[in-house]
Amino acid sequence: MFISQDSPVTFKGFTLVMPAVAVGNVGQLAVDLIVSTLNMSRVGYVHTDCLIPMAGNNPYVSCKEDAEELHTPAEVYAAAELKLAVLQIRAPVVQTKSKKFCQLLVSWIKASGFSRTVVLSSSHAYQRDDQQLQGTPLRYLATPSLLKVSADALNELGWREMERVPPFPGVKDADAQPRLCIPGGGVTKGLYADSCTEDLPLAVLLLFCSEGDNVPDAFTLVNHLNDWLCLLDNPSQQSRSKWKIPTSWSLLFGSGIPPALF
């Protein structure tokens, strides 16, 4: 599944950050900011038929020499000095293969020896229930394996755990068990459930949002992650200026209106 670009790569003890292809593509945009700001090197890619095939130019162009590099739907970047790896996913998951994709990712994470995995995701804001409308739009989930080593750190941050909701909204039934529901979250719930089953240390950070200009949401999510992982030197400075916007973002909304129309 994972194919290294040059020499064999070891991820033992690394933290893995990856997005879920979810509403607003917030997780993918946040990962773009991490890769671009930390100037991470591409070390390989994930080859699978679970993603819609695509290819494009280098989204993190820094000079003319690398502008024409070919990039694929799922690529892995690393910063060895930070013990950090990032899996960027640029294509939607084939609907009938989402379960298989979760299993492949969990198998790779387990075999690679990552110390922890963080999934950046999002969920439809309009489908929140009453309790989810209160307070911050940010939520987290953590597997039992991660809580064994990071429960104190998460408690100190004061983060809010993703609420479970009744099977039938608005209907109170003492016998009905609340369930985890992440509408618009793509493979988020599947990855979390499989990681719990496999006893993997995994956390999900997600944001309630709507489709549109989701750049502000990406900054909110990546700053939230930075509060925990301290990827930058000044984690308390909650501003956009510390994150480097990749060149590919200039085309987020197309190439503009053709002057010939006027």
**C-alpha–C-alpha distance, residues 59 and 48, integer Å:** 21
Cα angle: 224, vertex 143, 21; to 5 degrees: 55
3-state secondary structure of 251: helix
125 DSSP 8-state letter: G
Contacts (Cβ under 8 Å, ≥6 apart) of 254: none
- With cut-offs at 50, 70 and 90, classify the pLDDT of residue 166: confident
Q: pTM for the whole thing?
A: 0.91
Q: Domain coordinates of the chain in residue numbers?
A: 12-249
Q: Are 140 and 225 in contact (CB under 8 A)?
A: no
Among residues 52, 103, 49, 48, the alpha carbon closest in space to that of 76 is found at 48
Considering 116-120, 230-234, 251-255, the range whose residues carry the highest mean pLDDT is 116-120
- Which amino acid type is present at position 188? T
* Segment 139-154, tens digit of pLDDT: 999 999 999 999 999 9
C-beta of residue 73 within 8 angstroms of C-beta of residue 51? yes
Strands 74-79 and 15-19: unpaired
Superfamily, domain 12-249: PAC-like subunit (3.40.50.10900)
Taking only the tens place, the pLDDT of each residue in 28-87 is: 999 999 999 999 999 999 999 999 999 888 888 877 777 778 899 999 999 999 999 999
d(CA 74, CA 122): 19
Q: Is the pLDDT of residue 235 over 60?
A: no
